Amino acid sequence: MSKVYTIAVLVGSLRRESINRKVALALAELAPANLKLNIVEIGDLPLYNEDIDQDTPPAAYSTFRQQVSSSDAVLFVTPEYNRSVPAPLKNAIDVGSRPYGKSAWSGKPGAIISVSPGAIGGFGANHHLRQSLVFLDVPCMQQPEAYLGGAGSLFDEAGKLSEKTKPFLQAFIDAYSKWVEKQSA
Any idea what DSSP says for residue 32? -
* Alpha helices for 31-162 (secondary structure H): 59-69, 87-96, 123-135
* Alpha helices for the chain (secondary structure H): 19-30, 59-69, 87-96, 123-135, 166-184
For 5-184, give the CATH class. Answer: alpha beta
Domain boundaries, the chain: 5-184
Radius of gyration over every alpha carbon of the chain, rounded to an integer in angstroms: 16
DSSP 3-state of 152: helix
Question: What is the residue-level pLDDT of the chain in tens, covering all 185 positions?
Answer: 589 999 999 999 999 889 999 999 999 999 999 999 999 999 999 999 999 999 899 999 999 999 999 999 999 999 999 999 999 999 999 999 999 999 999 999 999 999 999 888 899 999 999 999 999 999 999 999 999 999 989 998 888 999 999 999 999 999 999 999 999 98
pLDDT of residue 1: 53
DSSP 3-state of 18: coil
Cα–Cα distance for residue pair 106/96, rounded to 1 Å: 10
